[in-house]
């Protein structure tokens, strides 16, 4: 499916709906979120195909098969829904509403903002509890700077894989592309770990997630850089820092938006940190920047909000021009 104006207007409508509505809690208290369905499917396949008695090669092949089945079903479901709703403005609206449920603009803002509010209302203990909801590192080992750094890194990274990437695949392949991307991203978060259980079985999910995020991650970094002036940051400096530091990150993708955000805020991000599965001793991004402070979370959210707005404007302009 080639990119055309209908697909781009679908993107714009989905982003606007997500910005206004977000994730309605009242709905998900009554019905499982689509990502929960995807996760249940991954769990079902993993229980049956990831056998400890199998060889490493067999488990890797089983993981490849799992990803093929998962992506195929996602594409078929997306195509069925699109065909069912195609050809009417009301169908486009329903499709945009479905797409908005798989985009995390508003919910990411709300989760990160809770960390900033927790600092103001309950200090470091409350902030630790709030940040534990969005990052995998050990919150009890985090001081004020560590919590702030974790929240800001989560903002930057999830801007890429929670907003820019799903929207990119929605624009390129329509609803099938969006659902397939969410299936891949969810599989990576569930089985794409370097633990004994998943290092082989989750290999395909992790590598495919890296692949489908290559372009969106770089687009995310550019959007963050262009949003830097909202907090008196420099677009040029952010872009230069991103090009210099992005590859220092252990992820081939996360370093792009994180290094752009670090430069925009004038702080150092990444660096040594402790996760549940162990320590990660990594170099800093924008190492010459100062130590992060709680108020930098608020500043990061301003950059994030403007970057989201720029994305909507860009897709609207593309839709209008096409």
Residue 38: is its pLDDT beyond 90?
Answer: yes
201 token code pair: 């079985």
| The pLDDT value given to residue 23 | 79
| The pLDDT value given to residue 275 | 59
Residue range 227-231: mean pLDDT, rounded: 98
Q: What is the pLDDT of residues 92-125, one digit of tens each?
A: 889 999 999 999 999 999 999 999 999 999 999 9
Residue 276: is its pLDDT beyond 60?
Answer: no
Mean pLDDT, the chain, as a whole number? 92
Lowest mean pLDDT among 22-31, 46-55, 217-226: 22-31
Residue 139: is its pLDDT beyond 90?
Answer: no
pLDDT top residue among 192 and 137: 192
Percent of the chain with pLDDT over 70: 96
- Start-end of H helices in 86-213: 89-100, 105-131, 144-159, 165-191, 203-212
Number of structural domains found in the chain = 1
Task: Identify the domain containing residue 81 by its residue range.
Answer: 5-321
This model's pTM is above 0.85: yes
Identify whether the C-beta of residue 214 lies closer than 8 Å to the C-beta of residue 252: yes
32 phi, psi to nearest 5 deg = -70, 140
Task: Measure the CA–CA gap between 56 and 173, rounded to whole angstroms.
Answer: 34
Task: Measure the CA–CA gap between 264 and 234, rounded to whole angstroms.
Answer: 6
Pairing of strands 273-275, 269-270: unpaired
Residue 194: is its pLDDT beyond 90?
Answer: no
Residue range 146-163: mean pLDDT, rounded: 96
90 token code pair: 């009301």
Q: What is the pLDDT of residues 68-88, one digit of tens each?
A: 999 999 999 999 999 998 877
Residue 211: is its pLDDT beyond 80?
Answer: yes
| The pLDDT value given to residue 193 | 87
Q: What is the pLDDT of residues 48-67, one digit of tens each?
A: 999 989 999 999 999 999 99
Residue range 156-184: mean pLDDT, rounded: 97
């Amino acid at each position: 499916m080639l990119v055309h104006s209908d697909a781009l207007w679908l993107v714009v409508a989905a982003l606007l709906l997500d910005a206004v509505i977000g994730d309605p809690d009242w709905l998900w208290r009554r019905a499982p979120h689509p990502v929960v369905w995807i996760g249940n499917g991954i769990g079902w396949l993993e229980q049956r195909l990831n056998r400890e008695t199998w060889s490493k090669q067999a488990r890797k092949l089983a993981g490849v098969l799992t990803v093929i089945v998962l992506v195929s079903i996602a594409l078929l479901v997306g195509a069925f829904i699109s065909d069912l709703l195609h050809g009417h403005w009301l169908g486009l609206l329903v499709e945009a509403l479905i797409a908005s449920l798989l985009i995390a603009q508003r919910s990411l803002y709300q989760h990160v903002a809770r960390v900033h509010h927790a600092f103001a209302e309950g200090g470091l203990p409350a902030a630790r509890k709030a940040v534990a909801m969005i990052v995998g590192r050990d919150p009890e080992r985090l001081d004020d700077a560590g919590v702030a750094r974790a929240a800001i890194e989560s903002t930057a990274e999830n801007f890429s894989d929670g907003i820019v990437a799903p929207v990119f695949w929605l624009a390129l392949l329509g609803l099938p592309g969006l659902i397939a991307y969410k299936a891949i991203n969810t599989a990576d978060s569930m089985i794409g770990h370097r633990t004994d259980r998943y290092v082989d079985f989750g290999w395909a999910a992790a590598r495919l997630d890296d692949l489908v995020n290559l372009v969106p991650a770089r687009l995310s970094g550019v959007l963050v850089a262009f949003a830097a002036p909202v907090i008196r940051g420099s677009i040029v400096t952010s872009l230069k820092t991103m090009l210099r530091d992005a590859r220092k990150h252990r992820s081939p993708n996360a370093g792009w938006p994180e290094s752009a955000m670090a430069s925009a805020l004038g702080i150092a991000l990444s660096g040594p940190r402790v996760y549940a599965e162990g320590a990660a001793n990594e170099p800093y991004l924008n190492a010459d920047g100062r130590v992060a402070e709680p108020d930098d979370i608020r500043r990061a959210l301003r950059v994030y909000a403007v970057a989201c707005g720029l994305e909507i404007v860009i897709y609207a302009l593309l839709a209008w021009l096409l």
